[in-house]
Amino acid sequence: MTTVLCVEDEPQIRAEIVDELNDCGYMTIEAANGKEGMEAVLEHKPNLVLCDINMPVMSGFEMLDALRENHPEFDGIPFVFLSALADRNDVVRGKMMGGDDYITKPIDFIDLLSTLESRLSQVTRIEARNEIDKEVMRQAILRNLPHELRTPLNHIIGFCELLLDESMGPLENERYSEYIKDIHASGCNLLDIVSHAIDLIEISSGCLLPAKDKCDIAALLRECMENAGELAGQDDIQLVGDFHEPIPHIQTDETLLKRAVSVVLTNAIQFSKTGELVRIEARFSPGDEICITIADTGAGIADDDAPRVFTAFEQADTTLTRKHQGAGLGLTVAKAVMEALGGGIDLHSKLGEGTTVDLYFPAGPGSA
Protein backbone atom coordinates (compact mmCIF):
# COMPACT_ATOMS: atom_id res chain seq x y z
CA MET A 1 0.00 0.00 0.00
CA THR A 2 1.23 3.48 -0.89
CA THR A 3 2.18 5.55 2.16
CA VAL A 4 1.76 9.34 2.30
CA LEU A 5 3.19 11.48 5.08
CA CYS A 6 1.01 14.51 5.83
CA VAL A 7 2.91 17.26 7.70
CA GLU A 8 0.42 19.97 8.73
CA ASP A 9 0.21 22.01 11.93
CA GLU A 10 -3.54 22.76 11.70
CA PRO A 11 -5.32 19.70 13.24
CA GLN A 12 -8.60 20.26 11.34
CA ILE A 13 -6.92 20.59 7.95
CA ARG A 14 -4.66 17.62 8.68
CA ALA A 15 -7.65 15.48 9.69
CA GLU A 16 -9.53 16.36 6.49
CA ILE A 17 -6.51 15.47 4.34
CA VAL A 18 -5.93 12.20 6.17
CA ASP A 19 -9.60 11.18 5.87
CA GLU A 20 -9.62 11.95 2.15
CA LEU A 21 -6.40 10.02 1.50
CA ASN A 22 -7.55 7.06 3.60
CA ASP A 23 -10.82 6.92 1.67
CA CYS A 24 -8.79 6.76 -1.55
CA GLY A 25 -6.76 3.78 -0.36
CA TYR A 26 -3.59 5.48 0.83
CA MET A 27 -1.93 4.66 4.14
CA THR A 28 -1.43 8.01 5.84
CA ILE A 29 1.07 9.07 8.50
CA GLU A 30 0.58 12.35 10.39
CA ALA A 31 3.05 14.94 11.70
CA ALA A 32 2.35 18.35 13.26
CA ASN A 33 5.59 20.10 12.26
CA GLY A 34 8.78 19.69 10.28
CA LYS A 35 10.69 18.08 13.16
CA GLU A 36 8.04 15.38 13.59
CA GLY A 37 7.96 15.06 9.81
CA MET A 38 11.70 14.36 9.66
CA GLU A 39 11.36 11.65 12.29
CA ALA A 40 8.44 10.11 10.40
CA VAL A 41 10.39 10.01 7.13
CA LEU A 42 13.31 8.24 8.80
CA GLU A 43 11.04 5.74 10.55
CA HIS A 44 8.38 4.98 7.94
CA LYS A 45 10.07 5.83 4.60
CA PRO A 46 6.87 7.08 2.95
CA ASN A 47 6.28 7.05 -0.80
CA LEU A 48 5.35 10.75 -0.83
CA VAL A 49 5.50 13.73 1.55
CA LEU A 50 2.72 16.33 1.60
CA CYS A 51 4.05 19.21 3.69
CA ASP A 52 2.79 22.60 4.89
CA ILE A 53 5.28 25.51 4.79
CA ASN A 54 4.56 27.77 7.79
CA MET A 55 4.75 25.57 10.92
CA PRO A 56 6.16 25.95 14.44
CA VAL A 57 9.43 24.26 15.53
CA MET A 58 10.50 23.57 11.94
CA SER A 59 8.98 24.96 8.75
CA GLY A 60 8.38 22.98 5.57
CA PHE A 61 11.31 24.70 3.82
CA GLU A 62 13.59 23.85 6.76
CA MET A 63 12.42 20.24 6.76
CA LEU A 64 13.09 19.81 3.04
CA ASP A 65 16.47 21.50 3.31
CA ALA A 66 17.51 19.24 6.22
CA LEU A 67 16.20 16.16 4.45
CA ARG A 68 18.04 16.87 1.20
CA GLU A 69 21.28 17.81 2.95
CA ASN A 70 21.48 15.13 5.63
CA HIS A 71 19.55 12.22 4.12
CA PRO A 72 20.17 12.05 0.36
CA GLU A 73 18.89 8.45 0.34
CA PHE A 74 15.38 9.94 0.42
CA ASP A 75 15.89 12.24 -2.57
CA GLY A 76 13.63 10.04 -4.67
CA ILE A 77 10.59 10.63 -2.45
CA PRO A 78 8.28 13.24 -4.05
CA PHE A 79 7.91 16.31 -1.82
CA VAL A 80 4.73 18.34 -2.38
CA PHE A 81 4.33 21.67 -0.60
CA LEU A 82 0.95 22.64 0.77
CA SER A 83 0.41 26.25 1.80
CA ALA A 84 -1.81 29.30 1.86
CA LEU A 85 1.16 31.22 0.48
CA ALA A 86 0.21 31.78 -3.12
CA ASP A 87 2.95 34.24 -3.94
CA ARG A 88 4.95 33.20 -7.00
CA ASN A 89 8.22 33.73 -5.12
CA ASP A 90 7.18 31.12 -2.54
CA VAL A 91 6.38 28.65 -5.30
CA VAL A 92 9.72 29.27 -7.03
CA ARG A 93 11.64 29.03 -3.75
CA GLY A 94 9.98 25.72 -2.88
CA LYS A 95 10.79 24.18 -6.26
CA MET A 96 14.36 25.50 -6.26
CA MET A 97 14.90 23.78 -2.91
CA GLY A 98 13.90 20.47 -4.44
CA GLY A 99 10.14 20.49 -3.97
CA ASP A 100 8.34 18.53 -6.67
CA ASP A 101 5.01 20.36 -6.65
CA TYR A 102 3.02 23.07 -4.91
CA ILE A 103 -0.66 23.08 -3.86
CA THR A 104 -2.33 26.16 -2.38
CA LYS A 105 -5.04 26.38 0.26
CA PRO A 106 -7.99 26.16 0.44
CA ILE A 107 -7.43 22.64 -0.81
CA ASP A 108 -9.15 21.34 -3.90
CA PHE A 109 -9.08 17.62 -3.13
CA ILE A 110 -9.54 16.62 -6.75
CA ASP A 111 -6.44 18.68 -7.57
CA LEU A 112 -4.62 17.21 -4.54
CA LEU A 113 -5.36 13.59 -5.52
CA SER A 114 -4.45 14.10 -9.16
CA THR A 115 -1.15 15.74 -8.14
CA LEU A 116 -0.30 12.87 -5.82
CA GLU A 117 -1.15 10.25 -8.45
CA SER A 118 0.91 12.09 -11.05
CA ARG A 119 3.99 12.34 -8.83
CA LEU A 120 3.75 8.73 -7.68
CA SER A 121 3.32 7.55 -11.25
CA GLN A 122 6.40 9.52 -12.27
CA VAL A 123 8.43 7.82 -9.53
CA THR A 124 7.20 4.41 -10.70
CA ARG A 125 8.26 5.15 -14.28
CA ILE A 126 11.70 6.36 -13.16
CA GLU A 127 12.22 3.27 -10.98
CA ALA A 128 11.13 0.99 -13.82
CA ARG A 129 13.53 2.73 -16.19
CA ASN A 130 16.35 2.42 -13.66
CA GLU A 131 15.63 -1.29 -13.23
CA ILE A 132 15.76 -1.78 -17.00
CA ASP A 133 19.04 0.11 -17.22
CA LYS A 134 20.54 -1.94 -14.37
CA GLU A 135 19.40 -5.18 -15.99
CA VAL A 136 20.90 -4.17 -19.33
CA MET A 137 24.20 -3.36 -17.61
CA ARG A 138 24.10 -6.60 -15.62
CA GLN A 139 23.49 -8.67 -18.74
CA ALA A 140 26.30 -6.88 -20.59
CA ILE A 141 28.72 -7.61 -17.76
CA LEU A 142 27.62 -11.24 -17.54
CA ARG A 143 27.97 -11.72 -21.29
CA ASN A 144 31.34 -10.07 -21.73
CA LEU A 145 33.30 -10.38 -18.48
CA PRO A 146 33.68 -14.19 -18.39
CA HIS A 147 34.95 -14.23 -21.98
CA GLU A 148 37.37 -11.40 -21.21
CA LEU A 149 38.69 -13.37 -18.24
CA ARG A 150 39.15 -16.58 -20.20
CA THR A 151 41.84 -15.20 -22.56
CA PRO A 152 44.36 -14.03 -19.89
CA LEU A 153 43.71 -17.18 -17.87
CA ASN A 154 44.60 -19.35 -20.84
CA HIS A 155 47.83 -17.37 -21.20
CA ILE A 156 48.67 -17.84 -17.51
CA ILE A 157 47.98 -21.58 -17.66
CA GLY A 158 49.88 -21.99 -20.92
CA PHE A 159 53.02 -20.22 -19.71
CA CYS A 160 52.91 -22.19 -16.44
CA GLU A 161 52.89 -25.42 -18.42
CA LEU A 162 55.79 -24.14 -20.52
CA LEU A 163 57.80 -23.40 -17.37
CA LEU A 164 56.92 -26.72 -15.77
CA ASP A 165 58.13 -28.58 -18.89
CA GLU A 166 61.39 -26.60 -18.64
CA SER A 167 61.27 -26.28 -22.42
CA MET A 168 63.73 -23.41 -22.42
CA GLY A 169 66.07 -24.77 -19.76
CA PRO A 170 65.93 -26.04 -16.17
CA LEU A 171 64.63 -23.95 -13.27
CA GLU A 172 67.55 -23.13 -10.99
CA ASN A 173 65.55 -23.27 -7.77
CA GLU A 174 63.20 -26.20 -7.04
CA ARG A 175 60.88 -23.95 -5.06
CA TYR A 176 60.04 -22.11 -8.27
CA SER A 177 58.57 -25.33 -9.61
CA GLU A 178 56.27 -25.60 -6.57
CA TYR A 179 55.17 -21.99 -6.96
CA ILE A 180 54.43 -22.51 -10.64
CA LYS A 181 52.38 -25.61 -9.87
CA ASP A 182 50.31 -23.59 -7.40
CA ILE A 183 49.81 -20.81 -9.96
CA HIS A 184 48.83 -23.38 -12.58
CA ALA A 185 46.34 -25.08 -10.24
CA SER A 186 44.80 -21.75 -9.24
CA GLY A 187 44.55 -20.66 -12.86
CA CYS A 188 42.84 -23.91 -13.84
CA ASN A 189 40.42 -23.57 -10.94
CA LEU A 190 39.55 -20.01 -11.88
CA LEU A 191 39.16 -20.95 -15.55
CA ASP A 192 36.76 -23.69 -14.49
CA ILE A 193 34.68 -21.17 -12.54
CA VAL A 194 34.62 -18.82 -15.54
CA SER A 195 33.57 -21.68 -17.82
CA HIS A 196 30.74 -22.60 -15.43
CA ALA A 197 29.57 -18.99 -15.41
CA ILE A 198 29.58 -18.83 -19.21
CA ASP A 199 27.57 -22.07 -19.38
CA LEU A 200 24.97 -20.73 -16.97
CA ILE A 201 24.64 -17.43 -18.82
CA GLU A 202 24.27 -19.09 -22.21
CA ILE A 203 21.76 -21.67 -20.98
CA SER A 204 19.63 -19.21 -19.00
CA SER A 205 19.58 -16.71 -21.88
CA GLY A 206 18.61 -19.36 -24.42
CA CYS A 207 21.83 -18.89 -26.42
CA LEU A 208 22.99 -22.46 -25.84
CA LEU A 209 20.62 -24.92 -27.51
CA PRO A 210 21.21 -28.69 -27.34
CA ALA A 211 22.28 -30.45 -30.51
CA LYS A 212 20.82 -33.81 -31.55
CA ASP A 213 23.76 -36.10 -32.26
CA LYS A 214 24.18 -39.84 -31.90
CA CYS A 215 25.75 -40.50 -28.49
CA ASP A 216 27.35 -43.65 -27.07
CA ILE A 217 26.65 -43.29 -23.33
CA ALA A 218 29.10 -46.01 -22.23
CA ALA A 219 31.94 -44.50 -24.26
CA LEU A 220 31.10 -41.02 -22.92
CA LEU A 221 31.28 -42.24 -19.31
CA ARG A 222 34.59 -44.03 -19.90
CA GLU A 223 36.02 -40.81 -21.34
CA CYS A 224 34.80 -38.79 -18.33
CA MET A 225 36.42 -41.31 -15.98
CA GLU A 226 39.68 -41.18 -17.93
CA ASN A 227 39.71 -37.37 -17.84
CA ALA A 228 39.09 -37.41 -14.07
CA GLY A 229 41.74 -40.05 -13.45
CA GLU A 230 44.55 -37.62 -12.64
CA LEU A 231 42.44 -35.74 -10.10
CA ALA A 232 41.31 -39.00 -8.48
CA GLY A 233 44.87 -40.31 -8.40
CA GLN A 234 46.07 -37.40 -6.28
CA ASP A 235 44.23 -38.87 -3.27
CA ASP A 236 44.04 -42.51 -4.39
CA ILE A 237 40.32 -42.17 -5.08
CA GLN A 238 39.07 -45.30 -6.83
CA LEU A 239 36.81 -44.76 -9.86
CA VAL A 240 34.59 -47.75 -10.61
CA GLY A 241 32.32 -47.87 -13.67
CA ASP A 242 29.28 -50.12 -13.95
CA PHE A 243 27.65 -49.58 -17.32
CA HIS A 244 28.10 -52.90 -19.04
CA GLU A 245 24.42 -53.64 -19.58
CA PRO A 246 23.20 -52.70 -23.06
CA ILE A 247 22.65 -48.95 -23.23
CA PRO A 248 21.24 -47.81 -26.58
CA HIS A 249 22.92 -45.08 -28.58
CA ILE A 250 20.66 -42.05 -28.30
CA GLN A 251 20.14 -38.66 -29.88
CA THR A 252 21.37 -36.00 -27.46
CA ASP A 253 23.99 -33.29 -27.07
CA GLU A 254 27.14 -35.25 -26.22
CA THR A 255 29.16 -32.14 -25.32
CA LEU A 256 26.57 -30.85 -22.84
CA LEU A 257 25.98 -34.27 -21.30
CA LYS A 258 29.73 -34.77 -20.88
CA ARG A 259 29.88 -31.36 -19.18
CA ALA A 260 27.23 -32.33 -16.63
CA VAL A 261 28.74 -35.75 -15.91
CA SER A 262 32.25 -34.29 -15.53
CA VAL A 263 31.04 -31.62 -13.10
CA VAL A 264 29.27 -34.13 -10.85
CA LEU A 265 32.16 -36.61 -11.06
CA THR A 266 34.71 -33.91 -10.15
CA ASN A 267 32.51 -32.86 -7.24
CA ALA A 268 32.34 -36.45 -5.96
CA ILE A 269 36.13 -36.82 -6.13
CA GLN A 270 36.80 -33.51 -4.38
CA PHE A 271 34.53 -34.38 -1.47
CA SER A 272 35.98 -37.87 -0.98
CA LYS A 273 38.75 -38.81 1.43
CA THR A 274 41.95 -40.60 0.48
CA GLY A 275 41.37 -44.18 -0.68
CA GLU A 276 37.59 -43.89 -0.91
CA LEU A 277 35.43 -45.09 -3.78
CA VAL A 278 33.46 -43.19 -6.43
CA ARG A 279 31.09 -45.32 -8.50
CA ILE A 280 29.48 -44.49 -11.86
CA GLU A 281 26.51 -46.46 -13.14
CA ALA A 282 24.24 -46.15 -16.16
CA ARG A 283 20.79 -47.72 -16.46
CA PHE A 284 18.20 -47.83 -19.19
CA SER A 285 14.63 -48.03 -17.98
CA PRO A 286 11.68 -49.39 -19.96
CA GLY A 287 10.18 -45.91 -19.94
CA ASP A 288 12.76 -44.74 -22.49
CA GLU A 289 14.84 -42.96 -19.86
CA ILE A 290 18.54 -43.23 -19.13
CA CYS A 291 19.83 -42.59 -15.63
CA ILE A 292 23.49 -41.99 -14.83
CA THR A 293 24.30 -42.38 -11.13
CA ILE A 294 27.48 -41.02 -9.52
CA ALA A 295 27.93 -42.05 -5.90
CA ASP A 296 30.69 -41.32 -3.42
CA THR A 297 31.35 -42.36 0.18
CA GLY A 298 32.72 -38.98 1.18
CA ALA A 299 31.70 -36.23 3.58
CA GLY A 300 28.03 -36.14 2.66
CA ILE A 301 25.68 -33.19 3.02
CA ALA A 302 23.47 -32.24 5.95
CA ASP A 303 19.72 -32.23 5.36
CA ASP A 304 19.52 -28.46 5.87
CA ASP A 305 22.24 -27.83 3.28
CA ALA A 306 20.99 -30.19 0.56
CA PRO A 307 18.42 -27.77 -0.98
CA ARG A 308 21.15 -25.12 -1.45
CA VAL A 309 23.63 -27.16 -3.49
CA PHE A 310 21.90 -26.40 -6.80
CA THR A 311 21.85 -22.63 -6.13
CA ALA A 312 24.58 -20.56 -7.77
CA PHE A 313 27.43 -19.48 -5.46
CA GLU A 314 26.14 -21.67 -2.62
CA GLN A 315 28.22 -24.43 -1.05
CA ALA A 316 27.17 -26.97 1.52
CA ASP A 317 29.05 -26.83 4.80
CA THR A 318 31.27 -29.82 5.49
CA THR A 319 33.81 -30.81 8.10
CA LEU A 320 35.99 -32.24 5.35
CA THR A 321 38.89 -29.91 4.58
CA ARG A 322 38.85 -29.37 0.83
CA LYS A 323 41.93 -28.74 -1.20
CA HIS A 324 39.81 -27.80 -4.21
CA GLN A 325 37.88 -24.60 -3.64
CA GLY A 326 35.17 -23.39 -5.98
CA ALA A 327 32.42 -20.82 -6.36
CA GLY A 328 29.56 -23.26 -5.84
CA LEU A 329 28.59 -23.25 -9.53
CA GLY A 330 29.28 -26.87 -10.45
CA LEU A 331 26.00 -28.54 -9.52
CA THR A 332 24.09 -25.45 -10.66
CA VAL A 333 25.60 -25.93 -14.12
CA ALA A 334 24.84 -29.66 -14.07
CA LYS A 335 21.20 -28.99 -13.19
CA ALA A 336 20.84 -26.35 -15.92
CA VAL A 337 22.44 -28.67 -18.50
CA MET A 338 20.24 -31.64 -17.63
CA GLU A 339 17.11 -29.52 -17.80
CA ALA A 340 18.24 -28.19 -21.18
CA LEU A 341 18.54 -31.83 -22.30
CA GLY A 342 14.94 -32.45 -21.26
CA GLY A 343 15.84 -34.30 -18.07
CA GLY A 344 16.82 -33.40 -14.54
CA ILE A 345 19.03 -34.15 -11.57
CA ASP A 346 18.37 -35.58 -8.10
CA LEU A 347 20.64 -35.64 -5.08
CA HIS A 348 20.51 -37.95 -2.08
CA SER A 349 23.02 -37.52 0.71
CA LYS A 350 23.67 -38.31 4.35
CA LEU A 351 26.22 -36.47 6.42
CA GLY A 352 29.30 -38.61 6.95
CA GLU A 353 28.14 -41.38 4.62
CA GLY A 354 28.37 -39.93 1.13
CA THR A 355 26.30 -38.51 -1.72
CA THR A 356 24.48 -40.00 -4.69
CA VAL A 357 23.56 -37.89 -7.71
CA ASP A 358 21.22 -39.14 -10.45
CA LEU A 359 21.33 -37.55 -13.91
CA TYR A 360 18.31 -38.64 -15.93
CA PHE A 361 17.14 -37.74 -19.41
CA PRO A 362 14.89 -39.17 -22.16
CA ALA A 363 16.31 -41.71 -24.57
CA GLY A 364 13.55 -41.74 -27.15
CA PRO A 365 13.63 -40.24 -30.66
CA GLY A 366 14.30 -36.51 -30.68
CA SER A 367 15.17 -36.68 -27.01
CA ALA A 368 17.66 -33.82 -26.88
Number of domains composing the chain: 3
What pLDDT score does 102 carry? 81
Q: Does 40 share its domain with 77? A: yes
Task: Say if 117 falls within a structural domain.
Answer: no
The mean-pLDDT minimum among 8-17, 345-354, 357-366 falls in 357-366
What pLDDT score does 111 carry? 85
Q: Each residue of 63-73: pLDDT tens digit?
A: 988 888 898 88
What pLDDT score does 278 carry? 92
Domain of 101 in residue numbering reads as 3-107
Q: Does 196 share its domain with 245? A: no
Task: Say if 41 falls within a structural domain.
Answer: yes
On the question of pLDDT at 280 being above 90, the answer is yes
* CATH number, domain with residue 19: 3.40.50.2300
Quickly list DSSP for 245-308: S----EEE-HHHHHHHHHHHHHHHHHTSPTT-EEEEEEEEETTTEEEEEEEE-SS---TTTGGG
Q: Is 81 exposed, middle or buried (0-12, 13-18, 19+ CB in 10 A)?
A: buried
Q: Does 304 share its domain with 346? A: yes
Q: Does 78 share its domain with 192? A: no
Q: Does 86 share its domain with 194? A: no
Q: Does 178 share its domain with 287? A: no
Task: Say if 114 falls within a structural domain.
Answer: no
The mean-pLDDT minimum among 7-16, 203-212, 218-227, 290-299 falls in 203-212
pTM above threshold 0.85: no
Q: Each residue of 30-43: pLDDT tens digit?
A: 999 999 999 999 99
Q: Each residue of 351-365: pLDDT tens digit?
A: 888 899 999 888 765
What pLDDT score does 368 carry? 45
Task: Say if 120 falls within a structural domain.
Answer: no
Task: Say if 124 falls within a structural domain.
Answer: no
